[in-house]
Structure 1
């Protein structure tokens, strides 16, 4: 046998062995994904209990548990505007961890802060966009320099006069509350100082205590505190009025031009999770989101239900990443 034919024979044998091994691995993998889940599933939330992302995650946990036939546990990993929780998800390799996240965690986290331990575009896999919502500009019921009956225009006039003696709160650097208020400052000529908190409920409490003079809050939280007489509503960040905040004027009506801002929440998995499992999870989450009971709960929490495919969420991430990156550059926003 020539040397050439011997090499060829060995190559064919090696290829055959590799094919058999690959086939066996594929069969084992198919069986393992078919049996999934084999233990409780975690939904990691980067915000405190009682926050909007936390409420949404808990709305999904029970029906998802029924579909999976396993317990679904919500874990709060709080800090860094939700990025601590997102990092927990990105690094998970147990195939039983997903996350409920907001815009910034899945778009510009790494752009805003290069030291962020994960890359949202590489380390997270989109599952479904759950809901979208405007924010509501809110303020204390009583504050120096602002008349009790002040409308939005009078409020902005007072804010312009106050300059940097006012402060505004957000759930953290890089959140839509932060980026949106910085854009609002540029559009309106106001100059409040940013103070980050662990979540929106903590921001609302600080406003009621007089530590903050303004903040962009989710509609459900803003409306509840306004109805209790604890906060005043200035305007919604959508281009027009919103059914999520009945009777509240848009900021455009107060003369703030070219201002249209939305927050959203979505489920994501680690990119290391097998595609077959992600597909199964995404289908279940969309089914839950589109059920009448969950749709109503989401609306009560301040969300217009969407329930996209993974591809639909990926498209939204791409669009928002580009837009928010421009905003960060134009307004010279940093992670400080």
Structure 2
């Protein structure tokens, strides 16, 4: 008999193997491609973002684009191609053949899009080349001021005792804020009812108005409201504490089961036909940029921890999260609207 664990293991091995094939070391790439990396780029690069101006992916892209252009000797132009929860932008990158198009996206289009929307017009392992993680951030578990619990353990005890009387908001079916809560429910026995909203500002308004009880929110919205006494913060979704949320503890610290470690992240990627030496060079330059104090502080003020990674590390992260969220999606029957 095959268990869910068996499925996840097989799925993870398959994805890791397929993605790894797209991030071969430069020593295994033809010499002509390696030589070309020394003279590239000879014209501006286009950095496609599948989210609107002012969104987190857009702000992260603009934080990286200017210094990356300076490092490469050619401008990096941010191009917003919005729609389908970021998937339109990713599909545009997947179709690119000019060698000068890359993309930046949140994790959803790289990990859950296909499971939520089977008609998604690209296959991550087949059509894309991972380049680098850019930034990571936890979700913050926030509660309305009507919630009597004031700490994490008190919240868990209270929420379990309420059955389905509590409600939680998210930014839509299949979103990270939705799936993170569904994962927490499997770890704790909480049965809060899902209420979708168009975005985090609307979720925050409903929480502060005591129309809903809970939500996994982004720190940049939740933390300031908590400091103003308008929300309670119970925990962060990552296994490690987050410096941008003060002394709010990791939710995992109060759970009996291990494995609750959820982060939102953004990454840079290219089409699969982008030569590996170019991906390696971009990865190295992005990592250097993200380690500068100026950029790290700029991202932290926006609620993000600067990351930077080798292409293979990003490939593994994509495969790991695809397997984990695939299980949650199957369990909940979530679908994109």
3-state DSSP class of the match of 2:118?
A: coil
Q: Distance in 2 between matches of 1:82 and 1:200?
A: 16
| Deviation for aligned residue 1:126 | 0.5
Whether the 8 Å contact between 2:46 and 2:101 is mirrored in structure 1 is: yes
**Residue 270 (1) aligns with residue 275 (2):** no
Specify whether residues 218 and 90 from structure 1 end up closer, same or farther in structure 2 by C-alpha distance, changes over 3 A only. same
**Per-residue deviation, residues 249-308 of structure 1 (Å, max 9, x unmatched):** 332455574422222221111223333432332222122112232223233333333311
Q: Which has the higher contact order (CA 8 A, sep 6+)?
A: 2
| Deviation for aligned residue 1:107 | 2.1
Q: Which moved more, 1:208-217 or 1:259-268?
A: 208-217
| Deviation for aligned residue 1:60 | 0.6
- Structure 1 runs not aligned, ≥5 long: 1-25
Alignment: residue pair count = 304
**Residue 108 (1) aligns with residue 109 (2):** no
Counterpart in the other structure of 1:249: 249
Matches within 5 A, 1:224-235: 224-235=224-235
3-state DSSP class of the match of 1:129?
A: strand
| Deviation for aligned residue 1:239 | 3.2
| Deviation for aligned residue 1:137 | 0.9
Specify whether residues 32 and 284 from structure 1 end up closer, same or farther in structure 2 by C-alpha distance, changes over 3 A only. closer
TM-score by length of 1: 0.76
**Residue 73 (1) aligns with residue 77 (2):** yes
Whether the 8 Å contact between 2:167 and 2:193 is mirrored in structure 1 is: yes
Q: Distance in 1 between matches of 2:208 and 2:166?
A: 17
C-alpha RMSD of matched pairs (Å): 3.2
Q: Distance in 1 between matches of 2:212 and 2:88?
A: 25
Specify whether residues 31 and 134 from structure 1 end up closer, same or farther in structure 2 by C-alpha distance, changes over 3 A only. closer
3-state DSSP class of the match of 1:244?
A: helix
Whether the 8 Å contact between 1:241 and 1:249 is mirrored in structure 2 is: yes
Counterpart in the other structure of 2:39: 34
Specify whether residues 299 and 34 from structure 1 end up closer, same or farther in structure 2 by C-alpha distance, changes over 3 A only. same
Counterpart in the other structure of 2:169: 168
1:139 counterpart (123, 139, 143): 143
Whether the 8 Å contact between 2:47 and 2:77 is mirrored in structure 1 is: yes
| Deviation for aligned residue 1:186 | 2.8
Larger radius of gyration between Structure 1 and Structure 2? 1
Q: Which moved more, 1:229-238 or 1:207-216?
A: 207-216
Q: Distance in 1 between matches of 2:179 and 2:215?
A: 12
Q: Distance in 2 between matches of 1:96 and 1:251?
A: 42
3-state DSSP class of the match of 1:138?
A: strand
Q: Distance in 1 between matches of 2:99 and 2:208?
A: 42
